[in-house]
Amino acid sequence: MAVLERRNPADDREVVATYEALDADGARAAVDRAAAAAPGWAATPGPKRAALLHRAANLLEERASEIAREITREEGKLLADALGETLRAVTIMRFHAGEAERLGGETAEPADPGVLAFTRRRPLGVVGLITPWNFPIAIPAWKLAPALAAGNAVVIKPASRAPGGTVALVAALRDAGAPEGVLELAVGGSAVGGVLVDDARVRAVSFTGSNFVGEALRARVTDRGGRFQGELGGNNPLIVLADADVDRAAGLAVSGAFGAAGQKCTATRRVIAEGPVYEAMLARTAELAGALRVGPGLEDGVEVPPLVDRDAQREVLEAVEATVAAGAEAVAGGDRGEADAHGSFVAPTVLAGAGPGTPVIDDEVFGPVVAVLEAADAGAAIELANATPYGLSASVCTNDLSRAIEFVRSIDAGMVHVNRPTPGADPHLPFGGVKASSASGYREQGRAAVEFFTEGQTVYLQGQS
């Protein structure tokens, strides 16, 4: 069996974890076990499934500090963020424990008075989850919890860049008493993902990751008649109107763009400022970005951690270089900064003058990079914000309620914020985008999450006369 090695993003001389990686045969064996366990789990009463999730949530909470430290060492994020993410996974588990007890349908009055009619939701059977590295425990939790709550058996493949969070989540569920085969962990590469995508016994696949990979997987799953959920990329705009408080707006832009080193699908990628405040917004954003401290996620006082690895660092710096070569100016950052040369650091970068056809405008540059653009008026700002294939999250800064309402009505985004940063989502509310940011109509998180993992059934019940 192959061994997967992970190094510390803050110092790549340090090996922080090794994992046994499955091949395609190992992945098929995992599906075999899940398929055998699926009928028994589906028949388990909802309150018993809820109890499992509650016990696992309690174990995660007890282990949160230890798990957070290992997430930081493996993925790189700030220790406080890793702890917050782990505790968010606890909240998600508890929320869906409640959903396991509430799972149901509705009654209706049928045409025949001697009939009782109602709807119910039932599990699909075996589902496959393919999760990303940037939220290595929260995103697995928000897929796993509703899938298990609904009565499915699960095979989960975490990202090879940071499997540790998922390993800790699965350990908590197994220690809490998950029956054998109900939850299968499949660490490995594309061969493992290929089995989940192509095996007809896997009724549905939920994927979070890049658009390129997501669209390819969607085609394979749907071509064989499976169900696919894809939460993909974003190029999220923050519009700053002329009546906004520039200092506050710049603070929102900086937190949205550079938190977690910009490694969030909801991170602010473009700041679009109305003409009268453009220069001030550009200057203040650059000033705040330049003052941020870059360093290891375990170090006190650090505000921007390293990227997940050297490949990520290279991709971001190449995108910045290409955008500058096309005429943009880096008014802050633009390079790896003065951080330790053994880490995958990128300085918080603010670009001015970036135009269509450049990576930061057309693509999702997954790092601490934001472009500040100028718009003639509010209408032009919204038009510019919508001029992208993506539609995940968007925000506006304004003190004018009418303009805020117009923004909400006109912006092409699945999640909309007013006077807030573009990142941010509550576990009890739906999460997802429109356009190329979502490869399906299904939403994650909240009560809507269960819909993807179940199918509806209408029942007409009549006694024998």
Catalytic residues: 265
The distance from CA 10 to its chain's CA centroid, rounded to whole angstroms, is 22
Residue with tokens 């959920």: 229
Measured CA to CA, the distance from residue 451 to residue 448 in angstroms comes to 6
Query: Can you point out the beta strands (E) in 164-226?
Result: 183-185, 202-208
Report the alpha-carbon distance of residue 179 to residue 37 in Å, rounded.
8
Assess contact for 243 and 398: CB atoms under 8 A.
yes
Q: Which residues have a Cβ under 8 Å from the Cβ of 155 and sit 6 or more positions away? A: 27, 30, 31, 34, 126, 127, 128, 129, 184, 186, 196, 202
HSE of 41, CA atoms in CB hemisphere, 13 A: 30
- What is the rounded distance in angstroms from the CA atom of residue 406 to the CA atom of residue 402? 6
CA–CA separation, 278 vs 255, rounded Å?
18
* Contact by Cβ (8 Å): 176, 55: yes
Q: CA 222, 425, 359: angle at the middle one, nearest 5?
A: 65
Q: Residue 11's CB: how many other CB atoms inside 10 A? A: 16
Give one word for 101, left, alpha or beta, with left for phi > 0 and alpha for psi -120 to 50: alpha
> What are the structure tokens assigned to 32, written together?
């075999």
Tokens of 100: 């396991």
d(CA 224, CA 212): 19
**Amino acid, res. 48:** K
CA trace torsion 205, 208, 213, 217 (10° rounding):
10
Q: Which two tokens mark 457?
A: 């059934």
**Cβ(165)–Cβ(144) below 8 Å:** no
Give the span between the Cα atoms of 197 and 300, in whole angstroms.
42
What are the tokens at 28? 């098929």
> Hey, what are 258's tokens?
């550079």
